Amino acid sequence: MTITLKDPYHIPQQQTSKSSTDDDADNTGDTSSPAAWAAASSSLSLASLNPDIAYSVRSSGDGPFPKILPALKMLSATVYYKYDIMRRAPHAISAYAGLRIRPLRVIPKRLPRRIIDNAGYLYSKSNNLKADADAGVDSSSDDDKHASNTIPDLDENVIDDYVLNVSFSPTFSLRNNAATAEVNLWGEDKTRWNAMAKLNLPSYNGSAAVNKKKKQLITFVRASCKVFLPFTAVSSLTFTPSYDPNALIYPLSCQLTGESGAGRTSAVLNLNIDDPTLSLIHQLDDRNVIAPEISLHTAKIMYNWTTQLASGILRTRVDPTSAIQVTWVDKAGAGRWVTDFKLPLEGSAGPLAADIRVQRQFVF
């Protein structure tokens, strides 16, 4: 269970600006004044706390049904409640099902057995050599270096390295009586390739459909494929095409990511027709990562800085033409603190007014 409470003493920035321009005001817009704290304390209620509760139940171990359905590795359900959406009932319910399938067990029925055995043998052999190399052991013998093309027949356990992971996450909104779902596909290594699709599911009220208008089935599709290169400067390229039918200008976009051989620097070219951007991500040390981002359409530059702390993370985003935003996530007992700090850099003739929001999440 995760409970998030709003800062009850936070006063909107519009009210602060209004009170600061009134000479006769009693300083109610200043959250640091005793009058503001007294006024907020007198009206303290569930509406001012605005509780956000998420209660989750999930399976553990090898899955809920290891003997009946061994491919089902995880099953979970979550109920969401937010006070300002539906005060007397949960506003959404979601579920998650994770499957781990070995499709190559079916292929030997259609292809020669030797083809599958060869692929499995070479994959297993490369993994063993890589593990020995990492451990500093030279496991290659003269026979292995000058091995012939004779590949021994292997059992089906070798093919178990080839897996297909599938996750299905449906969500039903009780407020809008609408259902959506997200489907994910990936292999043994999710960074090598993966695919994701968001769908609109039919909603029913009894035996009749609630929405008579025909909905678009697919709302978003994204895929990713990583290709390794034999170069030191650029060791890999990742292609991430996506399709968004609700985009303002063009539904298709693509993102290209190049990573250096050391893995400390990456360049990301986001070919989005609406706002194409180029980002350079560099890891300064084990704790600090900088990521400047430039818009290819407007030449606007954004600066991002992420710092890993002993008990949390600190994210800083600077827009020289707009504002500075800092998010501090700090782990605490049975939950975490989330602090958002925003300092506008324009639109204020007087002193700069910062917006600070504090959230406390409880996890049981």
120 burial level (CB within 10 Å; 0-12, 13-18, 19+):
buried
Q: Provide DSSP, 153-189.
A: ---TTGGGG--EEEEEEEEEETTTTEEEEEEEEE-SS
Q: 336 pLDDT exceeds 70? A: yes
pLDDT of residue 192: 87
* Tens digits of residue pLDDT in 197-227: 999 988 665 444 444 456 788 999 999 999 9
Confidence of residue 38 (pLDDT cuts 50, 70, 90): low
Mean pLDDT computed over every residue of the chain: 77
Residue 238's pLDDT is: 94
Enter the DSSP assignment of 82: E
Instruction: Give the helix, strand, coil percentages of the chain, each rounded to 5.
Output: 15, 45, 40
Model pTM above 0.85? no
Q: pLDDT category, 333, cuts 50, 70, 90?
A: confident
Q: What value does the mean pLDDT take over residues 132-144?
A: 51
- Rounded Cα gap, residues 111 and 124, in angstroms: 20
Q: Is pLDDT at 126 greater than 70 in this prediction?
A: no
